[in-house]
Amino acid sequence: MENKANSLIGAPHILSLDIATNTGFAIYENGIITKYGLWKLDKQCRYNRRNGLSEYIKQIIDQYKITVIIAEDIFFNPKKPKAYSALKELQKVLKVVCQQTDIPLELITPIDAKRSTTGNSVAFKEQVVSVINSYGYDLGTGKVDDIADAISIMLTYLKRYYLPITHPK
Taking only the tens place, the pLDDT of each residue in 22-40 is 999 999 999 999 999 999 9
pLDDT at 16 over 60: yes
Whole-number Cα distances in Å, 148 to 38, 66, 100, 141:
10, 20, 28, 12
Arithmetic mean of pLDDT, 45-66: 96
- Comparing CA positions, the residue from 36, 41, 37 lying closest to residue 20 is 41
In contact, 157 and 70? CB cutoff 8 Å: yes
pTM of the model: 0.91
Distance between first and last Cα of the chain: 31
| Residue 1 pLDDT > 60 | no
- Does residue 50 contact residue 94 with C-beta atoms inside 8 Å? no
Cβ atoms of 74 and 80 within 8 Å: the answer is no
Share the mean pLDDT of the chain.
92
Using the predicted structure, report yes or no on whether residue 122 has a pLDDT greater than 80. Answer: yes
Which class would CATH give 2-160? alpha beta
pLDDT bucket at 78, cuts 50 / 70 / 90:
confident
Are 150 and 16 spatial neighbours (Cβ–Cβ below 8 Å)? yes
